Structures are given as structure tokens and as C-alpha cells.
Amino acid sequence: MATLPKDPELCFQWNMAEFLIPVEITYNTNGTTSLTDVIAALSAADLLINDAVTLLPSVADGAEFSLRSISVRRLSQESPLREIFVAAIYVASQEQLETGVVFAATAAGIPIPTKLESLVTLVVLVVLFYGVGMARDAVRGLTSEGPAKRKLEALIADLASATGLSNDAVRRVLDAKYSKPGPVRGLISAALGFFRPSHTGGMASIDVGDTHLDSHLVADVPLSSEVSQENDLQRFAPYVGVTLELHAQDRDKGSTGWAAVPKGISERRVRMRIMPPVLPADIWGKSTVRGDIVLISKLTGEGFEPSEIHLTGLTED
């Protein structure tokens, strides 16, 4: 249960109310978890919670959030491995920021989501599986279908429903947060570290708050050893009805010799592959075509840059 601070002067000083938000994680392992795995899981959870709180202002409109601290309230290394974190978060509504009026001391007077605790846990899970998704893309590429990807889509839908945003808006928030090499690789490391006790514990299931991550889902997450600094980190984004300005053509080949500018997405000329059922002859000699694509972007020192287009279908003008 979220609680108000005992010191009202602290609230007045910050023009905010402080909430102590518990995040409980249980690894349903058998036996004692190694210290190395415990440290990896603790470090991972710390980064995930920190990142989740920094994302809250982008998904909870009209409120400002400031993380004061993350502490471990309880840690049990025996079976099951159980971690309870407490995030101390200052929260203020936009009205308070403008007037300097602090929160009322009753929950009914607080103009923020009534289930702040659930919202924080949900954002932690979204961040976690967004990182898992990038790790899976790096290892498995376009074949990255599976339970972990479906879980991310479901969590994004849950967050959109809880905040009134669209699924695409939630994705844009995540893409903006993780657009440079440092944050991306840090998140991937944390996401894989989070699952380490379960991976070494026979794919043990995990409970994060009221959310159960079963063994089948855990097994779909790459091992830390599968992702290295040398892996190309990529994003795969599907688009429908994109106008492609063709800049290079090869009538006889579908995988080489083609390049296009995806108008409205990027002004860069990008290498293109033609995927069945589209045939090279279907677009040969045309200066522009309209179709469905998958845009692959690779992580560079400047962020994610378009690297390849897969043309998967044609649409009529």
C-alpha cells in the first residue's frame, strides 16, 4: 500500500507527496540461489525500477515523478528466492507544480492514478520485456516470434489501457527512451540478468507482483551468453501502405540490387529486399510503389538507423 511521508515539511519543501511503492519479485526456484545470480538479479531489478520511474511522466499525463531512492526491504536466498524492493517516489500533479500547493493528506484528494503501485509494477514489466525483445531480435532476427514477444504486446496493451494512451504511443515512449547504444545495452544486460536465477534454476517461473511468468515464457528469453557486444542490435517495425521511392532496381533478383526511400518514415535511401509473394517483375520499371514493409533499423553510435527494407506486399493506390 502506498503511504504518505511522516514528515509534512518534506512534502512542502518538494511540493510533492512521497509514496513508498513496493515491487515484489519471487523466483520459484528449488534450493539456494548462488550469490552471483542474486547479485545479477538485484542489479537488474534496480535498473528496471529506475528506468520505469523515469518513464512514468511520459505515460501518466498531468503528473510529475521523482525517484528519491530504491532500497531492498527483504531478501531471501533460500527456496524460493524472494526480493522486495521499495521505491520512494515523489509525485506532484501539474496543478501543484503551478501553484506550489502540496497534496492533501488523504488518498481521495490525490489526483494521480489510484493504483500507483500497480502502475509502477506494470511499467517495470513493460521495460523488462522491451529489453528482452531487443535481446531476442539480436539473437533471432525476424524469426523472433514466441511467448516473450506476445507478452510484450500484451503488457503494452495493458499499459495503454491503464493510461489512456494508444499502443503506438506507448511504443514511441519506449523507442525514445532507448534510442542510443548506452541505454540499449544497459537495458538488455539488465533484462537478461533479471532472468539469470530462473535460467540457472531449471527455467523456474517468476512472480512479479500479481503477474506470473511461467517456465515456458522464461525459457523463451535468451541466455546472457547468447548476446555479446558484437551482436547487431536491431529493431523490426512493420508498416502498412508505405510509399516507396525506388532508387535502384534489379529485374532478375529480389534480394540484391534494390534500394528505396520509405516516404514519411525516412528520407534516407535504404537497401531493399523483395519478399514473397511480391516478385521483382511486379515493380520493375516503376519510380514509386505503395506497399507493406518491415523496416529493419540497426543500432549505431548515433542511435537506431534504417538499414534494410523488406517489401512484403503491394497495395493499390
Q: What is the pLDDT of residues 271-305, one digit of tens each?
A: 999 999 999 989 988 999 999 999 988 877 667 78
Q: What is the pTM of this model?
A: 0.74
Burial 10-32 (b: 16+ CB within 10 A, else e): ebeebbbbbbbbbbbbbbbbeee
pLDDT band at 212 (very low <50, low <70, confident <90, very high): very high
At 16 the pLDDT is 60
Mean pLDDT is lowest, of 5-9, 62-66, 130-134, 141-145, for 5-9
pLDDT average, residue stretch 38-52: 94
Alpha-carbon distance of 308 to 302, in angstroms, equals 17
112's grid cell: 494521480
Average pLDDT, rounded, for the chain:
82
Q: What is the pLDDT of residue 182?
A: 85
C-alpha cell at 131: 529489453
Which of these, 201, 210, 265, lies nearest to 30 by C-alpha position? Answer: 201
Determine the pLDDT at residue 138: 77
Helix axes 116-140, 35-59, angle to 10 degrees: 110
What's the pLDDT tens digit per position in 87-126?
888 777 555 434 333 333 333 344 334 477 888 999 999 9
Give pLDDT, residue 181.
81
% of the chain beyond a pLDDT of 70: 82
pLDDT at residue 116, as a whole number: 79
Q: How confident is the model at residue 2 (pLDDT cuts 50, 70, 90)?
A: very low
